[in-house]
């Protein structure tokens, strides 16, 4: 639900969705979650935008996760499509023993500096984001994180097609006992109006 025009004033978006937890163990057990929350975008000026999100994830195994995310996005030139981003995310969990079905530390935080690029080519809008940062899992020492993501989106009349592919290197040792763990993904969404 879009409350205001994001290009001139703060915009508020509220969301609610249900999804499955996409690990083999969680899929075998049928673990899903409901995620509700709100996000606000505040354009400070033409070059600077602040974004905040607060949410609550209720997992089907009775775990409750509080989630916060913040971003500062600076666009040095409005014509180049480049952005510099400071990103921060934090969550905690009410239930620690989930049978290793999914990554579930008592507390998690990550800070990242990212560079983004967006460009329109014909009917498609493409984006590329690369970032480096640090994470802290519970009270463990900080460790490095990396992100590389490509996205592409098009809209035909009232329908939208969104594609994303990426690589993330974070939380591996705690989640899998593998210090060389990395996560890659390909996602597609078809957005239909109703």
What pLDDT was estimated at residue 4? 40
Using the predicted structure, report yes or no on whether residue 107 has a pLDDT greater than 60. yes
pTM over 0.95: no
What pLDDT was estimated at residue 189? 87
Looking at 27-36, 53-62, 133-142, 180-189, which range is the least confident one?
180-189
Sketch the domain layout of the chain as residue ranges.
60-191
pLDDT band at 6 (very low <50, low <70, confident <90, very high): very low
Cα(47)–Cα(172) distance, integer angstroms: 35
Share of the chain above pLDDT 70, in %: 90
Sign of CA dihedral 189, 180, 137, 94: positive
For the stretch 10-63, pLDDT in tens is 999 999 999 999 888 999 999 999 999 999 999 999 999 999 999 999 999 999
Cα(81)–Cα(140) distance, integer angstroms: 37
Mean pLDDT on 176-187? 70
- Specify which residues 129 forms β-bridges with: 116, 149
What pLDDT was estimated at residue 171? 61
């Amino acid at each position: 639900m879009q409350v205001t025009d994001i290009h001139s004033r703060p915009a508020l978006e509220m969301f609610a969705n249900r999804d499955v937890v996409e690990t083999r163990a969680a899929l075998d057990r049928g673990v899903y979650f409901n995620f509700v929350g709100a996000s606000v975008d505040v354009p400070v000026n033409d070059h600077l935008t602040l974004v905040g999100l607060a949410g609550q994830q209720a997992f089907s195994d009775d775990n409750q996760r509080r989630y916060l995310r913040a971003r500062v996005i600076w666009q040095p030139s409005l014509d180049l499509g480049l952005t510099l981003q400071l990103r921060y995310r934090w969550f905690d969990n009410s239930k620690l023993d989930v049978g290793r079905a999914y990554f579930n530390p008592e507390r998690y935080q990550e800070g990242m500096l990212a560079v983004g690029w967006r460009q329109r080519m014909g009917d498609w809008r493409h984006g590329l984001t690369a970032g480096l940062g640090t994470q802290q899992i519970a009270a463990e020492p900080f460790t490095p994180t990396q992100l590389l993501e490509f996205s592409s989106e098009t809209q035909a009349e009232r329908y939208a097609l969104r594609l994303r592919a990426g690589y993330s290197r974070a939380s591996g040792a705690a989640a899998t006992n593998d210090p060389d763990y990395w996560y890659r993904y390909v996602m597609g969404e078809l957005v239909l109006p109703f």
